[in-house]
Amino acid sequence: MDMHAIQLFLSTTVTELAIKVVAAILFWVIGRWLISKVIAIMSMTMSRNHVDPTLTKYLGSIVAVALNIALVLGILGYFGIQTTSFAAMLAGAGVAIGAAWSGLLGNFAAGAFMLVLRPFKVGDFVSIGGVVGTVHELGLFGTTIVTPDNVLTVVGNGKIFGETIQNFDALPVRRVDRIAQLANGVDPLDAIARLQAAVAQIPNVAQSPAPEINLLDMKLEGPQIAVRPYTANANYWQVYFATNEAIVKVCAEAGWPAPALTQIHKVQQAA
């Protein structure tokens, strides 16, 4: 056995393999960098053309996945692996994975339908899949929203599409519902007039539709007044708390007593 020939063969093979590995790493790094640039250019172009941010993010995700798959196939081809057989194997694996991960495919399909139907967009304040918050991103399989307490939450697209969707930003204004519980003996008509004047002074209350101040119900504690101003969703909580303060201020200035439950005792007389 010629040790020199063996050493020459090993050194040559190892050198070629090392060169290919280094080249593959460079291809991967450069390819990933180019993919990020392509996605960035595509996003900038779509933004300049005023394309919806939801559509931009969704298409960007699809293009990124496709380009990454192409990059992997190119690197495998560089190593001499038959990409046609690999693609067939990948397709077969895709069928098996699709059967096992039907939920993920359902989420993907639901995301595509939502992209077409457009029940909400990035930046909208919504209630989806039992979660309330601002839409941060519409992904391939899930939608990311930021809840009012600043928690990043991901909801599967299938769950969103299969349940009720509420978009609080779809219409110009939103109603704030509050109730003023008055004590017995307080004139509800006088209370309505006072509350109408107080609510009209709250900043950011919409003039159209006008605030609704109405006698809601009669309880044992006394009359209940529905106080319902309208405002843009961005000002909802400011108007909500300001309405509470207005109710308290009106009651204090009028000198009305605090409502208390009145108990009625029936005395049975002996025959």
CA distance 145 to 142: 10
pLDDT in tens, 169-221: 999 999 999 999 999 989 999 999 999 999 999 999 999 999 999 999 999 88
User: What value does the mean pLDDT take over residues 77-85?
Assistant: 64
**Domains of the chain, start order:** 3-100 (1.10.287.1260), 120-167 (2.30.30.60), 174-254 (3.30.70.100)
65 or 11, which is more confident: 65
| CA-based end-to-end distance of the chain | 129
- Mean pLDDT of all residues in the chain? 82
* The pLDDT value given to residue 271: 46
* The pLDDT value given to residue 59: 73
96 or 66, which is more confident: 66
The predicted model scores a pTM of 0.61
Using CA atoms in the order 219, 225, 231, 237, what is the torsion angle rounded to 10 degrees?
-50
Residue 92 has pLDDT above 50, yes or no: yes
Residue 81 has pLDDT above 70, yes or no: no
Q: What percent of the chain has pLDDT over 70?
A: 79
User: What value does the mean pLDDT take over residues 111-119?
Assistant: 78
Asked whether the beta carbons of 261 and 194 are under 8 A apart, the reply is: no
Residue 159 has pLDDT above 90, yes or no: no
Asked whether the beta carbons of 153 and 132 are under 8 A apart, the reply is: no
DSSP, res 227: E
* The pLDDT value given to residue 88: 62
Residue 15 has pLDDT above 90, yes or no: no
* The pLDDT value given to residue 7: 63
* The pLDDT value given to residue 27: 83
Per DSSP, helices labelled H in the chain are 3-48, 53-78, 83-100, 102-117, 157-162, 188-200, 236-254
Residue 11 has pLDDT above 70, yes or no: no
Q: 102-124 as b/e, with b when 16 or more CB fall inside 10 Å?
A: eebebbbebbeebeeeeebbbeb
Beta bridge pairs of residue 205 = none
Residue 243 has pLDDT above 90, yes or no: yes
pLDDT in tens, 32-66: 888 888 888 888 887 777 766 766 776 777 788 78
User: What value does the mean pLDDT take over residues 230-254?
Assistant: 95
88 or 120, which is more confident: 120
User: What value does the mean pLDDT take over residues 140-162?
Assistant: 89
